[in-house]
Amino acid sequence: MTAPTPAIALTGISKRFGPVQANRDVSLSVAAGSIHGIVGENGAGKSTLMSILYGFYEADAGEIAVAGRPCVIRTPADAIALGIGMVHQHFMLVETLSVVENVVLGAEGGAWLSGGVKRARAELARLSEQFGLAIDPDAIVGDLSVGLQQRVEILKALYRGAQILILDEPTAVLTPPEADQLFALLRALREQGKTVILITHKLREIMAITDRVSVMRRGEMVAHLATPETSPPEIAEAMVGRRVLLRVEKEARPRGAKVLEAVGLDMVDARGVALLSGIDLTLHEGEIVGIAGVAGNGQSELLEVLAGLAQPSRGVIRLNGQVLTSADRNPARLRKLGLMHVPEDRLRTGLVTAFPAAENAILGYQDDPVLGPGPFLSPATIAARARDTFAAYDVRPPDPGLKTAKFSGGNQQKIVLAREIERAPKVLLVGQPTRGVDIGAIEAIHRRLIALRDAGVAILLVSVELEEVMALSDRILAMCGGRITGERLASEADERDLGLLMAGVTEQAA
């Protein structure tokens, strides 16, 4: 019996960027009408491989076949013409335009835009009905939630006739309910005969949604596995090349003195909407306090207020017993007082991606005398310190002169974490520490956070991964609607109880 023709067949793909061999003799076959996962460490070459398939890069060697036909893909237009669409981790949308305008952008269909928009409306209605992608075509994209913006990206690809859809870390910015909606959509696409290629670091997602999974390590393809016949430990070991601890090990320890205290924090935006209401919290030496909550319920605003990026409307913040004045509440002053911050959105708040990695490794600390005399910085010193830090945190490639935009998302995250952790914080505010990070790096980051806690650092952790909050924290605060709805010792918490608190079902309501 003849084997079915694969939707995609890549053979012997190689790609080099200067000294970095991003892909080395990679071969991959993806069955038509399947969901195929691709996993690997940060910098393993996954996104490069898919960028070659989508025409962002051209391979140095190798062949591509689509539906059994050899083809040359030099541009995204070539890929689109072959029925390939791609949804990037960071969306390619114009936020000031409407949904329908974003969908037709680049595919207007002629000089008269009204005709193209009219056809697009009709096709959007059909696609929305077929795949359950209900969305207002006239909504301004910048006003939509991240989950709805992702729907727009998927609609763009389907509108252009995509039969093969590549998704790069699609759940990295989604809440758990949004991720569930995405998975339901992917299953619907598969049932309609579409082929989905899913790049992700999350092994639970691989096990839940894919038919097969391919594993990359250091630019090479090292395994092709049928998902029902494998397991998370087997995939993790193939990714990293060693056994990986998939649970956090930490010992109970007594907490120390109170170092950070917030009393009665309120925050109201320009429209008068309350973003934080009556927040009371304390943070002690040698403990990790986790914030559990669905994204958009005040966790981000709480981090920003405590880090000095935003001012509260009311309330008191004390650091080491000292009341912080409005003059104290700015990031530069707080860093000098020992409070460091790993922001939730590394691209918007944590990095300048046009800068070399070495410069990002000192952002906020560029006035440190060790980096150069007086107002003059020493490029050699900065580069040397970056090389040492990158080696300690396994940043790949370990090239301080490379533009930060050229690093994978996980390696960008390592640069931010290393910058803040290596400054010996007394208090560390951490937002989404492992967003977009591979399983090996997650293990290393968790170990570092536990080591900091054991060394007496007070850590406030915000993560959309409830499992991560429960594993790392000593105490857990649940938030809903800008309020703290409950507190639990991590040793006594369970997902159902926390889920109710995250939904606003407080002890008083119960």
215-246 confidence digits (pLDDT tens): 999 899 999 999 999 998 899 888 888 776 66
301-332 confidence digits (pLDDT tens): 999 999 999 999 999 999 999 999 988 999 99
Domains identified in the chain, total number: 3
pLDDT at 509: 44
Report d(CA 151, CA 99) in Å as an integer: 10
338-347 confidence digits (pLDDT tens): 999 999 989 8
With respect to residue 2, please indicate whether it lies within any of the assigned structural domains: no
Q: Mean of the pLDDT values across residues 401-412? A: 89
Q: At what angle do helices 146-159 and 113-131 cross, to 10 degrees?
A: 110
Residue 510 has pLDDT above 50, yes or no: no
Q: Mean of the pLDDT values across residues 161-166? A: 93
178 and 90 both lie in a single domain: yes
Q: Mean of the pLDDT values across residues 399-423? A: 91
More confident residue, 489 or 142: 489
With respect to residue 506, please indicate whether it lies within any of the assigned structural domains: yes
358 and 431 both lie in a single domain: no
Confidence of residue 250 (pLDDT cuts 50, 70, 90): confident
- The Cα-based distances of 1 to 4, 28, 69, 73, 494 in angstroms read 9, 22, 20, 31, 51
- The Cα-based distances of 5 to 11, 174, 454, 457 in angstroms read 14, 34, 55, 56
pLDDT at 464: 82
pLDDT at 111: 46
130-154 confidence digits (pLDDT tens): 887 778 888 998 888 777 888 888 8
50-92 confidence digits (pLDDT tens): 999 999 999 999 999 999 999 999 999 999 999 999 988 778 8
With respect to residue 3, please indicate whether it lies within any of the assigned structural domains: no
More confident residue, 58 or 117: 58
260 and 112 both lie in a single domain: no
**Which CATH number does the domain housing residue 455 bear?**
3.40.50.300
pLDDT at 302: 96
409 and 443 both lie in a single domain: no
Contact 381/364 with Cβ under 8 angstroms?
no
Last residue of a domain, one of 215, 240, 265: 240
Report d(CA 295, CA 165) in Å as an integer: 26
- Lowest-pLDDT range of 68-82, 111-125, 136-150, 402-416: 111-125
159 and 93 both lie in a single domain: yes
Residue 467 has pLDDT above 80, yes or no: yes
Residue 390 has pLDDT above 60, yes or no: yes
- The Cα-based distances of 166 to 46, 89, 169, 289 in angstroms read 11, 11, 10, 37
